[in-house]
Amino acid sequence: MIKIGVAERKDYLTIQQIAHQTWYPTFEKILSKEQIAYMLEMMYSLRAIEEQIEHKGHIFLLAKEEENCVGYASYETNYQGTYKTKIHKIYVLPSAQGKGVGKILMDSIEKIAKEKGNKLLSLNVNRNNPAINFYEKIGFKKIRQEDIDIGKGFLMQDFIMEKNI
């Protein structure tokens, strides 16, 4: 049984560890090792996690199976003053994929978004990420694509996907 809870300061290291366990298998065929390492440091250093949660208003949800954390997602309701919830991150350990963890995390965010009066879920996904199929199955549609310069000569080449709720 999967339980969802809000991450606290004591969970920052757990988020970082899951990121390091999921990113290489997820992106090794899409991005260079150098870009993966750069992005992990940029997004998942303990300082970066603290900044996202404590200053940018991102809320991280942790998915636990028994006492083991098997995934996380982060989101922000009323994104940029709109009725949109932005899903910033969602990752599930390779060993827990296919068990419905990602769907439970997304359903939890959708429920919270509705409670906050939001009408739309939005996320970015790498244009070559197989997770696109998962997002489409749960009702997301590709809206447009964008290239985001993240420094050091690296780009995030994403689709923006949205779902009406």
The domain segmentation of the chain, as residue ranges, is 2-120
pLDDT tens-digit map of 9-46: 999 999 999 999 999 999 999 999 999 999 999 999 99
pLDDT tens-digit map of 4-13: 999 999 999 9
Please compute the mean of the pLDDT values over residues 143-163 and round it to a whole number.
96
Identity of residue 71: G
The third-level CATH classification (topology) of the domain covering 2-120 is Aminopeptidase (3.40.630)
Global pTM reads 0.95
Model confidence at 131, in pLDDT bands (50, 70, 90)? very high
Beta bridge partners of 63: 4, 71
Please give the order of strands across the beta sheet that includes 84-92.
2-6, 59-65, 68-76, 84-92, 120-126, 154-164, 141-151
Burial 95-128 (b: 16+ CB within 10 A, else e): ebbebebbebbbebbbebbeeeebeebbbbbbee
